[in-house]
Structure 1
Amino acid sequence: MLVLVNCMENAMSITFNEIQQNRQIVQRKYQERRTWLQEEGWKLYQEYIVSLSLPSTTWKDSNGVERQYVSIGDMNDKGLFQPMPLAALSLTDDYKLKFKISTVVDDSPVTGGAHYLVSIAMWKADGRLHVNVGDGKVEVVVASPDETGAFYEVSNAIKELILSGFKDSRLD
């Protein structure tokens, strides 16, 4: 009974101002985490594009419209890939930034546009950046995300996952 009385006394001393301050602290930390993960996602995206040695960043479809070889986005309500900036993405309930990287695998003007989607999840744990590639197929801990080439392993995992999507033992 004494424990219950002490808890109630402590709870009674908490003010509305303290509640508001704690809420603001959590909101600020959430925004800082979101911004940091979005910045790291942008670094990954840029490094991945460079790793592909593309002829250019865009290609032209049959109508002469410029299309990106690589884009970031997520699935819309109809289950279709929707390009969107990282800034439009929120964190999940477990503070992960999740998105898809779309890579065009056919840039022919007539039949082009086929793309391959790879799911990415990024989060911070124990002061380190974790990147999950392909819905759990590969997880990479990026020890020094500010170093040049920090996303080398992640970029390779994305490309290997795409290549594995084009293997069919029935054709061997």
Structure 2
Amino acid sequence: MAKDNIALINNGDTSLDKVWAHYKDPKKHKLTPNQKLVNERWLAAWTALTKYKNKTKVAVILQKAYPISRAQAFRDIRNAEKLYGNVLRADIDGQRALLYQFALEGFKTSMAKGDMKSAKGFHDAMRECLPKEDAANFNPEKLEYKKVVISAPQLVIDRIIASGKSGVGDYNKIVDAEAIVIEDEE
């Protein structure tokens, strides 16, 4: 079955799945009147988030605009962010990109004038705009030296040495050798 023919909507799918499928292919997946209302609430939640940046305030606005509970308002905000993207993260990333661009322009101007002190300051500002390495993603074990032991029959070793001298290795005529299993000592 081709990937395009796979059904996007199955029985038991959530409203989020159905609205997402509608955005992917509006002609194929029509929204019911209830799903249209839900989509309208999510769009209202996302739009209010872009203006107010406070989820609690947006939840209150949604409760006043639609007959929903506080819990439903927060679920709508969560689903809106899943569907349309995280407003706060996009806002921060956008501001960071603008600051980087301003620092880059200042760096170029300083370099053109030969002002190295200002150029260094702009360079430091550009570095501050770059995302930081998350300490949770850092794995110090990757930096440790680990001894690698490879064992091979003498015939294979001789062919490797010969290929290093000639630049070409022919391993086709080597008969199958028994494999040696090296178990980890830990």
- TM-score under structure 1 length normalisation: 0.27
Q: Looking at CA atoms only, which structure, 1 or 2, has the larger radius of gyration?
A: 2
Structure 1 or 2: more helix by fraction? 2
Structure number having the greater strand percentage: 1
